[in-house]
Amino acid sequence: MRLHDIAVVGASGLVGRKILQVLNERKFEVGKVVPIASDASVGKEVNIQGKQYRIQKLTPEAFRNIEFAFFSAGGAVSSEWAPIAANERCLVIDNSSAFRMKDDVPLVVTEVNRADIFKHKGIIANPNCSTIQLVVVLKPLDEEFKIKRVVVSTYQSVSGAGHKGISALENEITKIDSLASRSPFPYQIAYNAIPQVDVFFDDGYTKEELKMINETRKIIGKKDLNITATCVRIPSLVGHGESVNIEFEKKVTVDDVKKLLIGSKGVKVVDNPVNNIYPMPIDSVEKDDVFVGRIRTDNSVKNGINLWIVADNVRKGAATNAVQIAEEFLKGK
């Protein structure tokens, strides 16, 4: 048994802590752990797999002799420090958007494009949380029925904005801070829905919407895939929902889709509308599967299907996917 020394940048954050939890749950053979966070956390003690560690600051030396460096401290930290870690011969698995669209950086969801892992040049990017749960479902459908067009609308939980997102919702609900000044959201999120996730570009789309569009095309390997997105923040804690309308080239039935998705890796079909059974964010919490339900024909177009996708954005949308990349890398080509 060979132990793997790891660094986690952002070890005190939602995703960093979840990476450490998932590594433990999946019995990843961890040796030394270097937890790293901002100056605010340096020196604090964390317990990882029964051992006490002190959070360190970012230095090139922190990455020396480290095999895997998981980054989850935002784009600015990754842009500056991921190349430094890669230079120290770490394999960087980056949760930020800093490198996702770079041609020489693989963007990987193991159920979809595992082989791309082995094209890495030191950095592998983990896709956006909303993209991951979408492509796990789109890929098998595209292989079988050829996708013509996708329209996706998201219902994204506050944890997608990190621990500050959770605090903002909890504070607003308990009226500790009715318009939380430290909120990452532009408006009150409690009892509300905000049709803005991240900043706007000149064309009227948000950065989150463009991430979904561009990352989906890259992961599925179809540069010209017709896909459009609207991203909405809702006051759920964990688990993103997505309403997805898909037009196919080939004829397709609801049964075809169900059968295919039941046999697809990483997907669980939860679809029994007669008994009010469908996936909900609250049921996806702490699960690694991508859940699909409300599968039905869209009679307004030829070969159209509507469906509803839910996954835990902090696990499959970030931590679990990052750990799966490391696991698959170790298994080899």
Ligand X SMILES: NC(=O)c1ccc[n+]([C@@H]2O[C@H](COP(=O)([O-])OP(=O)(O)OC[C@H]3O[C@@H](n4cnc5c(N)ncnc54)[C@H](OP(=O)(O)O)[C@@H]3O)[C@@H](O)[C@H]2O)c1
Task: Provide the binding-site residues for ligand X, judged by CB under 6 A.
Answer: 9-16, 36-38, 40-41, 58, 72-75, 77, 95-96, 129, 159-160, 162-164, 313-314, 317-318
Smallest distance from the beta carbon of 98 to ligand X, in angstroms?
A: 8
Please state the closest distance from residue 148 (CB atom) to ligand X, in A: 29
Catalytic site residue from 90, 120, 231, 240 = 240
**162 burial level (CB within 10 Å; 0-12, 13-18, 19+):** middle
Residue with tokens 């600015």, as numbered in its chain: 76
d(CA 30, CA 182): 35
H or E element at residue 114: none
Return the closest-CA partner of residue 266 out of 114, 147, 126: 114
Helix H or strand E encompassing 291: strand 290-298
Q: Describe the strand order of the beta sheet including 123-125 as a list of residue ranges.
A: 30-36, 4-9, 68-71, 91-94, 123-125
Work out how close the CB of 40 gets to ligand X at its nearest, in angstroms, rounded to a whole number.
4
Burial 7-19 (b: 16+ CB within 10 A, else e): bbbbbbbbbbbbb
Whether 129 sits among the annotated catalytic residues: the reply is yes
> Which tokens go with 86?
């890669």
In the complex, minimum distance from the CB of residue 328 to ligand X, in angstroms, rounded to a whole number: 18
The C-alpha atoms of residue 279 and residue 233 are separated, in whole angstroms, by 18
Catalytic residues: 129, 240
